[in-house]
Amino acid sequence: MPTGSRYILACYFDTSDISLVLLSLDSNNVEFFNFPYKYSSAAFSNQTNEAGFNKDVIETFLKNKKIKTSDIEVITCGFIEVPPVDIETKQSLKLVSIIKEIEEFYPFVVNEFSVLTKDSILSYEMCSEKSQDIDGGGSNELANLSIYPQIIPVDILTSTELDRSIAAKVESLELGYKSKDALTFSGSRFSRTILYEYLDWILAFDLVRKPGIYEIFLDRRNAIPLFNIIKKYKPEILLNPKPYLEVLGTLINSQGETECLLTSDVGTSQFFDVKKDGFYVVPMLHEAPSSLSIKSRSLGNLNISVSGGKVGLIINTGNSSLFNNVKVFNDCVKQLSLCTPRY
């Protein structure tokens, strides 16, 4: 390591935002920063290029932290391509190349136009004028998104339409996750300011289509991509992303009618029968593990231990996207909005 380097700054450039993590090599402390904007030629080409813009973002962060550029080693990672940065970087990686090496979780990286998993890139559409080409078939809203990729829709209709198009990308695709896996959801779709938190949850649950039992985590800081690029750069540095993930709870994907008996550790029990194409949420704290007996055609008869989270225990008995059935979608919103402090 060069003399004087006291920090590693890892930068992850997604299609709508930039996530940074500053790792102190002295204390091993990490500090996250999200800049919810990205370079857009339509907005900034009269001032700077992409490399200059990215450099300004990094330098602003360092200036705020009162850290000299000479004290850090910068490593960068891009969603598909690594964007240019007008700063000397020690390593530049594509997320595609490092996501395959993640073992502890099955990662989904989601942004407004694409889904990247450990074994698939689903309909990558770069949020740019070239691919959107402004003259594509989309709406005014989509055209504005191609000019200003950072925009977060503030109406539920546009948000839902965008999510529906993301969810449609995983329709009937065979992804490599297995039942009982811990699934994480990173990317700019989840890392930016939340307007309707329950829509984030619905999208995450909807992207999991295979029958099974899963632990669901939201990675709002992009800790998984960031920590893995550090791991790739300095394999001796071991960082655990789990404390930085938001635990949503346990998702039971069971295609068809499902009977459940939930027994808490203090002995109280609750029975519920979720009909086919149903969605049911049982609020459960993460710190209160319970045992669950399940009877379902697709999962069989199971006795498992489940832990809750911000949402709790989620049972989805449909075999198609939640966005395809207005009644089920409304039911999701109704139940999940009760789990959101704002609603």
Among 147, 168, 285, 304, binds other proteins (CB under 8 A): 147
* Residue 275 · residue 295 · CB < 8 Å: no
Residue 134 binds other proteins (CB under 8 A): yes
Residue 81 binds other proteins (CB under 8 A): no
Q: What is the DSSP letter of 322?
A: G
* Residue 17 · residue 36 · CB < 8 Å: yes
Among 31, 104, 155, 171, binds other proteins (CB under 8 A): 155
Measured distance CA(340)–CA(129) in Å, rounded: 36
Among 3, 46, 172, 268, binds other proteins (CB under 8 A): 46
Residue 249's beta-bridge partner residues?
Answer: 216, 312
**CB closer to other proteins out of 27 and 46:** 46
Phi, psi of 166 (to 5 degrees): -70, -45
x-or-dash string of contact with other proteins, 111-130, rule CB under 8 A:
------------------x-
Residue 89 binds other proteins (CB under 8 A): no
Give residues with Cβ within 8 angstroms of 187, minimum separation 6: 14, 79, 108, 109, 110, 111, 116, 222
Among 3, 88, 154, 267, binds other proteins (CB under 8 A): 154
**CB closer to other proteins out of 124 and 148:** 148
Residue 56 binds other proteins (CB under 8 A): yes
Among 172, 193, 268, 301, binds other proteins (CB under 8 A): 193
Place of tokens 């992207």: 207
- Distance, first Cα to last Cα, the chain: 50
Alpha carbon 30 to its chain's center: 20
Place of tokens 């996207």: 321
Among 41, 159, 291, 337, binds other proteins (CB under 8 A): 41
Q: Which residues bind other proteins (CB under 8 A)?
A: 17, 35-37, 41-48, 52-53, 56-57, 59-60, 64, 129, 134-135, 138-141, 143-144, 147-148, 150-152, 154-155, 192-193, 195
